[in-house]
Amino acid sequence: MAPLDFVYPKHLAKLTRDIFDGDYDKEVSPFAFDDDFEDSEIMALFYENYTANSTQKFFHYKYGIAVQLLKLVNVDETNEQMTVVMEFVQSWKDRRLTWDKKKYGNIGKITTRLEKVWSLPFIAYGASEVVEHRDQNYRTAAVYDNGEIMAQIPLRLTTNCKMNMIDFPFDTQICEIRVGLPLQSSHTFNINIILPEHILASCKLGNSAWDIVNISYGQQVVYYDDILFDNDKHAVVKLHLKRNPMFYMYMIVLPTFIINTVSIAGVFMKDIYKMDRLSVGMTHIMTMTFILTLIADKLPKTEQIPLLGQYIIFGLCTMMVAMVCSTYVKKIANFSQNHLLSTRSVFGERLRKFVVIQLRQIVHIVFQSINLFSVLYIIYRMACFEQLYAKTNCSQKMPTMDVIPEIDPRGDLKHH
């Protein structure tokens, strides 16, 4: 008996020659059948629910996508884009690449270069950049004896994502990854997308700025009301992203609160001159404008003012009103000092002391309270935001299996 390490390569070489050196042509699609094709054996191979008595004239070949790796790289709010690294595994069937295992040493699977087989050219819809990391020389495919082919594709994908920034920095975003088969009739194939449990339950899919708190996926059909375009099927993965807001809390909210507090105290100081109040106010305005510019560089240019921007603008307006009030309090105090100083009544003396001493302190406390309440509101929003997504721990995270509607350009939504 020949050694096993000799017999196996011998069968493998013969099998490879038989299936690739014969009539197989990698340039020809295996799915070019007409509408009346009724070979029950082939129909049963590719169409899941087919029976010999079926009245179906179209067969469905099965195209599968499994996501082995998913990692969020970056979210570009200004350009409204999301970048992820993904590891796809494609699977489809080519009936020309089948063999009898018994004739080839019970070999049920071979690995070959992807360029030797006909492959489905899938695309990512709505993507501005798709980069395949693997070199052409290292792209391989696994071929099974039943004709099933599996190919692994590592991608860096940048896709467009509409951003809603009204609650920034306590915002969540839902971004889609949408892949499909261009120019393939939607009547002839089904897309089956699979995300394994280790991805769905992972807490480490995001980056330092964003967490992925939920993933939903499914198949979506896009209807075109035009005879020149066939309906299209997409495999859709929705990522629910949650921002980590602590960076903005200690880099923007805390400094803004301190600047507001010091500036308000400065304009209500006793014996401060008008030019000094103006200098404090102008310094405050320039500082807040600079902070607003930093925020504006991070956000898309929309008509909505985000929550963090509203907080800074509110502090700016509070400071401007405080400057005006401090000026009038000073004038009232001077007027009271001149007209009530000579009074000999107890009420007049108390009124003079209240206006000269206590009124400035009361107005100062009012504006400092407004400043304090505004930052407490931001802290409250952050606490509610974190509490909302802290109820589910990592091991309990499961996908939300959304019923993804089919899109009709005429405005109608159809459901499976």
Pair 277, 350 in one domain = yes
- Please check whether residue 397 lies inside any domain of the structure: no
* pLDDT reported for residue 213: 85
Buried b (16+ CB within 10 A) or exposed e, 241-254: bbbebeebbeebbe
What number of other Cβ atoms are within 10 A of residue 122's Cβ? 19
The alpha carbon of 208 is separated from its chain's Cα centroid by a whole number of angstroms, namely 14
Pair 188, 169 in one domain = yes
Q: Name 142's Cβ contacts closer than 8 Å, sequence gap at least 6.
A: 109, 110, 111, 149, 150, 151
What number of other Cβ atoms are within 10 A of residue 190's Cβ? 15
Pair 155, 267 in one domain = no
- Please check whether residue 328 lies inside any domain of the structure: yes
Pair 17, 161 in one domain = yes
* pLDDT reported for residue 396: 40
Q: Name residue 215's beta-bridge partners.
A: 239
9 pLDDT above the threshold of 80: no
Task: Decide the pairing of beta strands 189-194 and 61-76.
Answer: parallel
Of the candidates 317, 325, 329, the one whose C-alpha atom is nearest the C-alpha of residue 292 is 317
Pair 154, 298 in one domain = no
271 pLDDT above the threshold of 90: no
* pLDDT reported for residue 181: 80
* pLDDT reported for residue 40: 46
Q: What is the pTM of this model?
A: 0.75
Please, which pLDDT band fits residue 257 given cuts at 50, 70 and 90? very high
Between these two residues, 46 and 211, which has the higher pLDDT value? 211
* pLDDT reported for residue 318: 92
pLDDT digits (tens, 9 = 90+) for 10-37: 778 888 888 887 778 888 877 654 444 4
Map residue 257 onto helix, strand or coil. Answer: helix
Please, which pLDDT band fits residue 299 given cuts at 50, 70 and 90? confident
> How many angstroms separate the Cα of 368 from the Cα of each of 3, 123, 223, 375?
89, 57, 59, 11
Map residue 183 onto helix, strand or coil. Answer: coil
- Please check whether residue 374 lies inside any domain of the structure: yes
323 pLDDT above the threshold of 90: no
- Please check whether residue 416 lies inside any domain of the structure: no
Mean pLDDT over 331-345 rounds to 60
Burial class (CB in 10 A: 0-12, 13-18, 19+), 96: middle
Pair 163, 277 in one domain = no
Q: Among residues of the chain, what percentage have pLDDT more than 90?
A: 19
Pair 211, 262 in one domain = no
* pLDDT reported for residue 53: 52
Please, which pLDDT band fits residue 328 given cuts at 50, 70 and 90? confident
What beta strand segments (E) does 77-196 contain? 81-93, 109-113, 123-125, 127-132, 140-144, 148-160, 172-180, 189-194
- Please check whether residue 76 lies inside any domain of the structure: yes
Q: What are the structure tokens assigned to 234, written together?
A: 């997409």
Pair 212, 302 in one domain = no
- CATH (domain of 197): 2.70.170.10
Of the candidates 314, 330, 316, the one whose C-alpha atom is nearest the C-alpha of residue 363 is 330
Please, which pLDDT band fits residue 400 given cuts at 50, 70 and 90? very low
**Total count of domains within the chain:** 2
- Please check whether residue 393 lies inside any domain of the structure: no
* pLDDT reported for residue 356: 61
Pair 135, 239 in one domain = yes
Please, which pLDDT band fits residue 407 given cuts at 50, 70 and 90? very low
* pLDDT reported for residue 341: 57
Q: Which of 211, 244, 277 is the last residue of a domain?
A: 244
What number of other Cβ atoms are within 10 A of residue 393's Cβ? 8
Chain mean pLDDT for the chain: 76
Pair 286, 200 in one domain = no
Residue 292, domain extent:
247-388
Please, which pLDDT band fits residue 6 given cuts at 50, 70 and 90? very low
- Please check whether residue 408 lies inside any domain of the structure: no
* pLDDT reported for residue 383: 92
* pLDDT reported for residue 245: 92
* pLDDT reported for residue 156: 92
pLDDT digits (tens, 9 = 90+) for 125-170: 888 888 887 776 778 899 999 889 999 888 899 999 988 889 999 9
Between these two residues, 391 and 49, which has the higher pLDDT value? 391
pLDDT digits (tens, 9 = 90+) for 183-215: 666 666 777 788 877 776 666 778 888 988 888
375 pLDDT above the threshold of 90: yes
pLDDT digits (tens, 9 = 90+) for 67-113: 888 889 999 988 899 999 988 888 888 888 888 988 888 888 888 88
pLDDT digits (tens, 9 = 90+) for 242-251: 999 999 999 9
Pair 55, 153 in one domain = yes
289 pLDDT above the threshold of 90: no
The kind and range of the H/E element at 275 are helix 274-296
- Please check whether residue 287 lies inside any domain of the structure: yes
